[in-house]
Amino acid sequence: MTATHSDVLIIGAGVGGGALAYALAPTGKSIRVLNRLGSLPRERENWDPVKLFVEGRYKSEEQWIDGHTGEDFQPGMFYWLGGNTKVYGSALLRLRPEDFTAMQHEDGLSPAWPLSYDDYAPYYDQAEAIYHVHGSRGSDPFEPPAGGPYPHPAIAHDPRIGEVAEGLRAAGLQPLDLPMGVKFSEANPGGGEFVLREVFGAMGRAAFDGYPDMLHLKMDAETATVIPAAANDNVDLVTDALATKVLTNASGTEVTGIDVTVGGETVRYTADVYVLAAGAIQTPTLLFRSANSAHPNGLANTSGRVGRHFMRHVTSKFYTVASQTPNPTRFQKTLAINDFYFGAKDGSDFDAIPLGHVHLMGKHAGWQIKQDLPDGAYSDEEYDRIAAHSVDWWVQGEDLPLYENRVDLTDDGRIRLHYTWTNRGAHGKLMDLLEAALRKQGFDEFYRVPMPLGVVNHQCGTCRMSTAPTDGVVDVFGRTHDVANLFIADASFFPSSGATNPTLTIAAHVLRIADYLKSEVL
């Protein structure tokens, strides 16, 4: 077994690991980043919907276990450089200031964070710059404060989406330009022709939401942070590297090394500072696999919170159809609705109950809608008709951090996920309100598709942040309460999920960790 040392060792090159390497690279310290796979291949199949959505070409083949039913399921996990952002839709939103406070939801209380929005605000500014976010301040009715305008102007709506936006305004809503992390082109990231729209128009179909981007214009974590970080001589990126165990001294107070399988051989990597950024499922399961006599229930788990409080958002696809009005849009993902983020405001039982966030998805084809609806519901021709007239929404609400919702390992080491849904009534109410607004502009068919357990792309909460070691796994700077030189820098830290996509908050949180490491540790 060989051993190799660095100042900082980062496990995982997704949003968190990439942001940390990017932020620490200018220090000149030796930084090693390990990732399970290398770069997702740039090939024609990147934009082949059958290869992606039917054959699952780039998805992990692993099978997890549903803790309630005992049945196997294939999770939507991607372990390439950039992690799940390689196939995400690049919507990059901040949490609201209220999301950091305790809020009453339909099914319980969402807890306060030990930090406030003000602690994150300057790091949100930095993250938006790193991810080339396009948006327009002032279009969001509950917009949080920011240090200035978005780095780039909002992406213009295609004509049909512009019509829908105007119709929503006529119905009394305040639709907003969806903040998106993209480059318009390599030569002119902030302006000129929007190359992705031009390419997809020429292809005759959308190829964005759920697709890898072979042009590297979508700002996924690899493009935004991993590639720039790895360009520095002091950053060593090691791929095809699977971390198997974190080792500690006899007392369990410090990490002494991590065993990693690289090319079929075990390598022991050592460092001064160790950072787990493998994601909200793989980070806690690595801690479980690293149990020792000092940490018999899993490393850094004296609180019993490792793997607990799993969240993933309450999500549905919502196909809304105006049967008399076609939707020829190619790049659809430019519009969002936050009017009901904090309540229905209609005098109903949900008047002051947070409902969540809605934004457009990439345009779906008939055969994709067919996959989402019950077998035999319609003919292929009817699915194509629905797709030709549909405007396709992604609806998401806050998921409560139940203690019982957790990830653990079976006796033979397989990943098991125990999950109970919360806030489903509020989720349905959000779609009711959107449907009512859309009916006023001629929409007359609606199809709701709740996302199954296998959709874990917004996973968070399994090593929650806390001030008291008994209540969580890490402190406000990502350091584990139990192990002095072990940090966690991925979505595991979330005390609550909020209702916006987690990517920008992960990046902001990790940039804050980086500042702490630079000033206090390295």
Residue 84: exposed, middle, or buried by beta-carbon count in 10 A (0-12, 13-18, 19+)? Answer: buried
pLDDT above 70: residue 2: no
Stretch 121-139: mean pLDDT, rounded?
97
The tens digit of pLDDT for each residue in 267-321 reads 999 999 999 999 999 999 999 999 999 999 999 999 999 999 999 999 999 999 9
- DSSP H helices, 204-339, are 221, 227-230, 282-289
Residue (of 60, 21, 55) closest to 37 by Cα position: 60
Residue (of 287, 282, 289, 311) closest to 301 by Cα position: 287
Residue 314 C-beta-side C-alpha neighbours within 13 Å: 27
Report DSSP letters for 418-460, one per residue.
E-----HHHHHHHHHHHHHHHHTTT--EEEEEE--TT--TT-B
Stretch 149-158: mean pLDDT, rounded?
96
* Local structure of 380: helix, strand or coil: helix
* Local structure of 229: helix, strand or coil: helix
d(CA 193, CA 178): 18
Side chain identity at 519, as an amino acid letter? S
Provide the pLDDT for residue 3. 63
Provide the pLDDT for residue 205. 76
pLDDT above 90: residue 14: yes
Provide the pLDDT for residue 189. 84
Residues 6+ apart with CB under 8 A from 110: 102, 103, 104, 354, 398, 400, 401, 496
Side chain identity at 458, as an amino acid letter? H
DSSP at 158: P
The tens digit of pLDDT for each residue in 339-396 reads 999 999 899 999 999 999 999 999 999 999 999 999 888 999 999 999 999 999 999 9
pTM for this structure? Answer: 0.97
Order of all β-strands in the sheet with 64-66: 72-73, 64-66, 415-418, 406-409
Mean pLDDT of all residues belonging to the chain: 96
d(CA 117, CA 96): 7
Name the maximum alpha-carbon separation found in the chain. 71
The tens digit of pLDDT for each residue in 229-279 reads 999 999 999 999 999 999 999 999 999 999 999 988 999 999 999 999 999
d(CA 522, CA 520): 6
In this structure, how many other beta carbons lie within 10 angstroms of the beta carbon of residue 70?
8
- DSSP H helices, 60-173, are 117-130, 159-170
Provide the pLDDT for residue 193. 87
d(CA 57, CA 74): 13
The tens digit of pLDDT for each residue in 158-213 reads 999 999 999 999 999 999 999 999 999 988 888 888 999 888 888 877 889 999 99
DSSP at 280: T
d(CA 200, CA 203): 5
Q: Are the CB atoms for 340 and 433 separated by under 8 Å?
A: yes
